[in-house]
């Protein structure tokens, strides 16, 4: 809608993850570098955590896009509160191994054979699990045991755990001490500060062909940062609503009045974080 009104090639502030529009701020670059470092080592676990909406899934997509011409064979799963046996079966299925009706012993045998074959072909398997905070302790322990699979003293499987902040607490618990010892890198995606929020907004706009229409007054950016808490998904939500308001009112310059209107509408609809809803509703007071 508003992308046509302002002449954009596509919508710049979609809520769904899009690695094509990734903005490599400092903690994003650090997390990506840690993942690439761990890939180079080819062993153990990497743990990436962050609040919802901070770009974890975008980071995975960005990393995976860079693996398309490499020797890495990856499986990417989204955790759905799986227990150990179900997780093992899902891993086997996602790697394309036929396993209908097999018991756990046969699943492990087939997976081991598959990983050995990849190793002999010069390929390295990588398992990426998104929303890993939903896994049970027994499922995480099952993953640790999978990293015990070796050939000629070389590990056959590397695992990236990506999840919300609770994942860190789970991995640091006493019952998962052995898994904790297998982590070769751990990083946390932080919310953006005010200056980086501005850079993020302009980056996405330039990517879709923005040519200063609408003209954005500098006074909007402190509002965007404050009411998004620096979380990229909420930045997208606020900016999308601002541009929609601009389109409806046929505006080609957006400033403090327009951003206040956009935030107020989101607050009334209870789409802002709970801690900011009352403040947003009272923004015109």
The pTM of the whole model exceeds 0.85: yes
Q: What is the pLDDT of residues 106-151, one digit of tens each?
A: 999 999 999 999 999 988 899 999 999 999 999 999 999 999 998 8
Residue 70 sits at the vertex; the CA angle it makes with 45 and 89, to the nearest 5 degrees, is 50
Beta strands in the chain (DSSP E): 45-50, 72-78, 124-130, 150-151, 154-155, 158-163, 183-189, 215-216, 253-254
The CATH number that domain 2-12+192-281 falls under is 1.10.8
- Give start-end residues of each CATH 1.10.8 domain in the chain: 2-12+192-281
Tokens of 142: 């099952």
Query: Residue 285's pLDDT is what?
Result: 47
Give the bridge partners for 205, in sequence order.
Answer: none
- Spatial CA neighbour of 72 closest among 159, 145, 149, 130: 159
- Give start-end residues of each CATH 3.40.50.300 domain in the chain: 26-189
Q: What is the pLDDT of residues 232-250, one digit of tens each?
A: 999 999 999 999 999 999 9
pLDDT band, very low/low/confident/very high, at 281 (cuts 50, 70, 90): low
pLDDT band, very low/low/confident/very high, at 278 (cuts 50, 70, 90): low
Q: Whole-angstrom Cα distance, residue 66 to residue 11?
A: 24
CA 63 to centroid of chain Cα atoms: 11
Q: Is the pLDDT of residue 259 over 60?
A: yes
Q: How many CB atoms lie within 10 A of CB 121?
A: 10
pLDDT band, very low/low/confident/very high, at 45 (cuts 50, 70, 90): very high
Q: Which CATH superfamily is domain 26-189 in?
A: P-loop containing nucleotide triphosphate hydrolases (3.40.50.300)
What percent of the chain is modeled with pLDDT above 90?
A: 69
Q: Which residues contact 285 (CB under 8 A, 6 or more apart)?
A: none
Q: Is the pLDDT of residue 280 over 60?
A: no
Q: Whole-angstrom Cα distance, residue 35 to residue 47?
A: 9
How far is CA 279 from each of CA 86, 95, 235, 270, rounded to the nearest angstrom? 44, 48, 17, 11
81 vs 254, higher pLDDT: 254
Q: Is the pLDDT of residue 282 over 60?
A: no
- Spatial CA neighbour of 107 closest among 97, 118, 116, 115: 97
Average pLDDT of span 193-197: 97
Q: Whole-angstrom Cα distance, residue 32 to residue 55?
A: 11
Q: Whole-angstrom Cα distance, residue 144 to residue 13?
A: 38
CA 107 to centroid of chain Cα atoms: 29
Average pLDDT of span 41-62: 91
């Amino acid at each position: 809608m508003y992308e046509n009104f302002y002449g954009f090639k596509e919508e710049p502030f979609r809520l769904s993850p899009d690695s094509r529009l990734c903005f490599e701020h400092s903690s994003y670059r650090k997390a990506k570098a840690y993942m690439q470092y761990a890939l180079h080592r080819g062993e153990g676990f990497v743990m990436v955590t962050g609040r919802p909406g901070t770009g974890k899934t975008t980071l995975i997509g960005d990393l995976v896009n860079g693996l398309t011409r490499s020797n890495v064979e990856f499986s990417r799963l989204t955790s759905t509160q799986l227990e150990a046996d179900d997780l093992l079966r899902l891993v086997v299925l996602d790697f394309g191994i036929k396993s209908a009706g097999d018991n756990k012993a046969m699943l492990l045998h087939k997976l081991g054979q598959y990983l050995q074959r990849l190793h002999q072909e010069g390929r390295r398997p990588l398992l990426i699990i998104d929303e890993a905070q939903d896994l049970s302790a027994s499922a995480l322990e099952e993953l640790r045991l999978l990293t015990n699979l070796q050939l000629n003293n070389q590990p056959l499987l590397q695992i990236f755990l990506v999840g919300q902040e609770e994942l860190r607490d789970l991995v640091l618990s006493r019952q998962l001490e052995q898994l904790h010892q297998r982590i070769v890198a751990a990083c946390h995606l932080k919310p953006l500060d005010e200056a980086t929020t501005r850079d993020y907004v302009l980056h996405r706009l330039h990517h879709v062909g923005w040519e200063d229409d609408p003209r954005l007054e500098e006074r909007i950016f402190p509002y965007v940062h404050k009411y998004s808490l620096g979380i990229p998904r909420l930045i997208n939500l606020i900016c999308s609503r601002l541009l929609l308001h601009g389109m409806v009112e046929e505006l080609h310059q957006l400033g403090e009045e327009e951003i206040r209107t956009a935030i107020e509408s989101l607050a009334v609809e209870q789409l802002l974080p709970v801690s900011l809803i009352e403040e947003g509703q009272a923004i015109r007071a």
